[in-house]
Amino acid sequence: MEVRALHKWVRISPSKVRRYCDLVRGKRVAEALRLLEVEPSPSARELLRALRSAVANAENNAGADSDELTVKEVVATDAIRLRRLLPRARGRAEVLRKRSCHITVVVTDEQEEAG
């Protein structure tokens, strides 16, 4: 069975979070947790929160064993972009786009079929 967790409105650019998504995709949950716990990045910390939430959902709502879970899918998608103005020379202004993202984590206890 598949269980998902959605961590919304994370104030980090999705491209920064995707580096760590690629790191843990397809790994066992215990190994993915270990990898993210040692990373000093705020992106890894937010992804760790989402992964722990998905594991808790699987244990409490679906009755799964956390030792048998695998990270099936991890996605960081675009959310809202806050627009801020940065003053420049000669009375001009530049637009700064402060990006945010939604992190979706799907864990499963089924074995992946080779093929």
pLDDT of 26 strictly over 80: yes
| Sign (positive or negative) of CA dihedral 16, 26, 28, 65 | positive
Mean predicted confidence (pLDDT) in 10-34: 96
* Percent of all residues in the chain with a pLDDT value above 70, rounded to a whole number: 96
Determine the longest span between alpha carbons in the chain, in angstroms. Answer: 63
Relative to beta strand 2-10, strand 93-108 is: antiparallel
Average pLDDT over the chain, rounded to an integer: 94
Task: Report percent pLDDT > 90 for the chain.
Answer: 90
Quote the pTM value: 0.89
Backbone angles phi, psi at 42, to 5 degrees: -60, -30
pLDDT of residue 115: 40
Alpha-carbon gap, residue 32 to 71, rounded angstroms: 8
Q: So what's the pLDDT on residue 110?
A: 82
Give the model confidence (pLDDT) of 60-96 as tens digits: 999 989 999 999 999 999 999 999 999 999 999 999 9
CATH top-level class for 2-108?
Answer: alpha beta
Instruction: Say what the pLDDT of residue 101 is.
Output: 97
Residue from 67, 80, 71, 64 nearest 5 by CA = 71
Q: DSSP 3-state assignment of 32?
A: helix
Q: What is the pLDDT of residue 112?
A: 60
